[in-house]
Structure 1
Amino acid sequence: MQLKLKFNLLVFFAIFGIFSVSAQEQVSEENAYKKRVLENTEIDFLTSYYSQDGENAAVSGGKGTEELTDFTPTIVVSIPLNADDVLTIDAGVSAYTSTSSSNVDPFDGSGPADPFTASSGASQSDTWANLNATYSHSSNDRNKIWTANFSVASEYDYFSLGFGGSFTKLWNDKNTELTVNGNVFLDTWNPIYPYELRPFGEHGKRLGDALFSRYHITGNAGYNPVFSEFTDKGRNSYSLGFNFSQILTERMQASIALDLVQQSGLLSTPFQRVYFRDIENSFIEDFQLADAIEQLPDNRLKVAAGGRLNYYLNEIFVLRGYYRFYNDDWGIQSHTASLEIPIKLGTKFTLYPSYRYYMQTAADYFAGYEMHTSSEEYYTSDYDLSRFSANQYSFGVNYTDIFTQFHLWSLHMKSIDLRYLYYKRNSGLKSNLISAGINFIVE
């Protein structure tokens, strides 16, 4: 893993160096004044609070509470290196508390083990952290833009490295735009298995383990799950995207996009239980012991195509429409459609009401609680892979201070954005998201 990290860092800084040399050469060719891509350093302070609840937790095999809360503060700093080049640093931390993930070990709490009750153990909460760096170079005529990016993210059970880049070409007096981008993510799992399965791993004590000595098994006392530890702990993702945008009239702009993603490696989530209908149930207290863990293919190809259409009605109203079709080789097809209507109130305030509809088919390997059989090769009871439809409603408000009159020391406020989002699936999952962002210019 250290060799991979060193290699990726070398690639990133090599790309960075090439772009820097190119920028210096082009600047030396044109000494006349030209408008900078970014006039001053800008800082965005972002935060969000997310909560959800439902009764189909994948951790407990398709039943049990899905209650979760997440708080995510993020800071984004965009730094103009010269007239043509911008470096953007994006750093964030996500701190969550999850009733469902606490039941990876449902036996470490003070009360009886139950899929609808949170365990108070260490798996109840965790912190995810990420850092992204993006370098952007624009040509002298601003008709070509190159970017290179590098990212790193870490959580208790995985570590991820990512790198990539993009190229954008504008022509026809900047009315036409084409962007091509590619990214690679190299992830490494530290597999965490359901607590009752760990004694059945390699060199395990099976039913002689302390867990089964401490608790009495009811139902099938000869508990013998289908379980072996994963040997492949890596997951690689490769993406390629195309976006074409065209200004059609003075009032209308349209764009189309195509995205391809290839994944390989450990695509199963190690701590998600599965229960078979042809195996007698075993319990400790009120918690059903896992018959197996999720097993999914080690390859997945995703294809998505979509388009946007923006129409300027008048100085107050704009219509923003969006549609996306998705298909993968696990059997999922989905449709997404949304409409946003920005409403401009004077020169400073804009309202953002929007609606989004989503529906998908089920993956070939999905079945609900106790609907799989032990003879199947692949199986999951993760309702994210089930057939469902969802409605999402959101409302936002943006305040823009075009003269940046309000300031804190050398930070001059440019804009404030607040947004609320409500999401509901027909399977019962509901969620709420409140987000806020403040943009400052450093002078």
Structure 2
Amino acid sequence: MKKICLSVVGMFLTFFAAFAQDSTAYKSRKLTFEEANLVSSYYHQDGNNSAVTGGVGTENLTDYSNTIDLKFVRWGANNVKHSFTLEAGIDHYTSASSDKIDPRTISSASSADTRIYPSLSWMAENNAKGTTFGAGVSFSSEFDYKSFGANVLFAKKTANRNGEFSVKLQAYLDQVTIIQPIELRSNQNINSHEDDYASQARNSFSGSFSYSQIINPNFQLALIADVVYQQGYLGLPFHRIYFNNGSEGVETLPGTRLKIPLGIRANYFLGDKVVLRSFYRYYHDDWGLSAHTAQLEAALKISPFFSFTPFYRYYNQQGTKYFAPINTHSVSEQFYTSNYDLSTLNSGFYGAGFRLTPEKGVLVIQHLSALEIRYGHYSRSNGLNSNILSLNLQVK
């Protein structure tokens, strides 16, 4: 997999170093290349509360991810800027817990999987009117999940251009493949092929609303509100439940869910070399889950071409009323899960990144305008730990 990541980086540099030479400074009415970004990341986690085995057992998982986005622009009538962004991503993971869906095999189909997720978006910015319109479509596919998405957005600046209101509407129409633990399948489905599995719908609809305001030259503030409604099969069919009477089943959750996150973001500029970024969010849903998130990040400009960014995020969650540990749920309950993602917990995520933007380009490649590397460590109160390392290359 490391060879794949390096090959993608090599092709990225070779192709776009040449392609970027066609970009021009004037406002061309032809579709021209503006920017490209490649992000590669490595993620690894471990823990002992796998929902696949009823809330106990290994959560060991490794994920390699590569995404690339290409941005093109064209200037239309009335000086309207049209931006088109094509993004393509591919993830490959190996999961010890998913391998327990069918422990008879050395490596079951879900022990490793690859996800692809292309998307296309368009945005039209009218600086004279201070308005922005946009739309996008997306698709995601992996072994047991398919997703189709669409979105539209609108933004409007205030008369003095110091404030902006935006709204984004999204819809995701998904299909969940019903793959149950091997011991709970009927005899005729024990050796089923992927094409033989049934599937059920999961639909998500959301509205995101924000208002940003420049308070003064050093202080910017944004208020954020989301409303998310989900319907359909909202659990996972291979999450086991071990009841208090010794029997076994799979998690069962309500067929609808309403989520309401509310947030505030504040950025403060301490001169030319330090930017403090802060974020707070309160979350609540009708499953009884509520949470608080607080994050602080400092961007330190060490030199005109080098910046260092440490960050810390704290998260506290009051779990859903449907969660209980292994051997605790009663068969008389209507809904039940032993997925610790839905339990009461707190977590911390900290790390740092650095960004290089040399005047002559990274590695003296003129159009390779930026290189950023970030590392983060995550730890949860129930023992789950993870590490993520990412690389971002930008061509202009």
State the TM-score, normalizing by the size of structure 2. 0.87
Q: What is the number of equivalent residue pairs in this alignment?
A: 362
Q: Which of 244, 247, 258 is matched with 2:211 structurally?
A: 244
Relative to structure 1, the CA distance from residue 402 to residue 35 in structure 2 (aligned partners, 3 Å threshold; closer, same or farther) is: farther
Between the aligned partners of 2:395 and 2:96, the Cα distance in structure 1 is 37
Which stretches of structure 1, 4 residues or more, deviate above 6 A after TM superposition?
33-36
Match of 2:369 in 1: 414
Task: Tell me if the contact between 2:294 and 2:313 (Cα under 8 Å) persists in the aligned partners.
Answer: yes
Q: How do 1:64-83 and structure 2 match up within 5 A?
A: 64-82=57-75
2:395 counterpart of 1:440: yes
Give the conservation status (yes or no) of the 8 Å contact 1:232–1:265: no
Deviation at 1:81, TM superposition (A): 2.9
Most deviating of 344-353 and 397-406: 397-406
User: Where does 1:62-141 land on structure 2 (aligned, <5 Å)?
Assistant: 62-82=55-75, 84-109=81-106, 120-141=107-128
Q: Distance in 2 between matches of 1:89 and 1:81?
A: 15
Match for residue 351 of structure 2? 394
Query: Where do 1:9-28 residues align within 5 Å?
Result: none
User: Do the aligned partners of 2:170 and 2:205 also contact (CA within 8 Å) in 1?
Assistant: yes
Alignment correspondent of 1:368: 325
Q: Residue type of the partner of 2:391?
A: A
Contact 2:233 2:255 in 1 (8 A): yes
Matched AA of 2:125: S
* Alignment partner, residue 429 of structure 1: 384
Q: Deviations over 1:319-366 (max 9, x none)?
A: 111100000000000000010011001111111101100010111110
Question: Aligned partners of 1:320 and 1:236: how far apart in 2?
Answer: 34
Q: Is 1:347 the equivalent of 2:304?
A: yes
Query: Aligned equivalents of 2:51 and 2:205: distance in 1?
Result: 26
Relative distance call for 1:232 and 1:122 in structure 2 (3 A) is closer
Shift of 1:172: 3.7
**Based on CA coordinates, which of the two structures has the bigger radius of gyration?**
1
Q: Deviations over 1:2-45 (max 9, x none)?
A: xxxxxxxxxxxxxxxxxxxxxxxxxxxxxxx8799x97421111
Which residue matches 1:189?
A: 176
Structure-2 change in CA distance of 1:330 and 1:151 (3 Å)? same
Contact 2:203–2:231 (CA under 8 A) maintained in structure 1: yes
User: Which residue in the other structure is 1:283 paired with?
Assistant: none
Mapped contact 2:121–2:137 kept (Cα < 8 A): yes
SS in 2 for 1:344: strand
Identity of aligned residues (%): 39
Output aligned runs, 1:252-401, within 5 Å: 252-279=219-246, 291-401=248-358
Q: CA deviation at 1:179?
A: 0.6
Q: Cα offset for 1:199?
A: 2.2
The more displaced of 133-142 and 382-391 is 133-142
1:151 paired to 2:106: no
- Structure 1 gaps, min length 5: 1-32, 110-119, 211-229, 281-290
SS in 2 for 1:247: strand
Deviation of the 1:123 alpha carbon? 2.3
The amino acid across from 1:417 in the alignment is: E
Shift of 1:171: 2.1
Between Structure 1 and Structure 2, the one with more strand by share is 2
Distance 1:393 1:86, change over 3 A: same
Match of 2:162 in 1: 175
User: Structure 2 residue aligned with 1:61, among 31, 54, 58?
Assistant: 54
Structure 2 equivalent of residue 46 of structure 1: 39
1:44-90 C-alpha deviation (Å, 9 max, x unpaired): 11100000000000000000000000000111100113351010011
Q: 1:375 is paired with a residue of what secondary structure?
A: coil
* Distance in 1 between residues matched to 2:264 and 2:318, nearest whole Å: 21
Q: In structure 2, give the amino acid aligned to 1:177.
A: E
- Cα 1:86–1:197 shift into 2, 3 Å: same
- Per the alignment, residue 6 of structure 1 pairs with none
Partner SS state of residue 141, structure 1: coil
Secondary structure at the counterpart of residue 101 of structure 2: coil
90-99 or 190-199, which deviates more? 190-199
State which drifts further: 59-68 or 411-420. Answer: 411-420
SS in 2 for 1:269: coil
Question: How far did residue 400 of structure 1 move?
Answer: 1.3
User: 1:55 corresponds to which letter in structure 2?
Assistant: N
- What amino acid maps onto 2:97 in structure 1? S
Instruction: Answer yes or no: is the 8 Å Cα contact 2:175–2:199 preserved in 1.
Output: no
What is the alpha-carbon distance in structure 2 between the residues aligned to residue 415 and residue 252 of structure 1? 26
* Stretch deviating more after TM superposition (76-85 or 51-60): 76-85
- Aligned AA (1:383): Y
**Alpha-carbon spacing, 1:247–1:159, altered in 2? closer, same or farther (3 Å):** same
User: How big is the alpha-carbon RMSD for the aligned residues of Structure 1 and Structure 2?
Assistant: 2.2
Report the CA distance between 1:278 and its aligned residue. Answer: 1.5
Amino acid at match of 2:278: G
Equivalent residue, structure 2, for 1:225: none
1:163 partnered with 2:160: no
CA 1:165–1:142 in structure 2 vs 1: closer, same or farther (change >3 Å)?
same
When normalised by structure 1's length, the TM-score is 0.78
The one-letter code of the counterpart of 2:384 is L
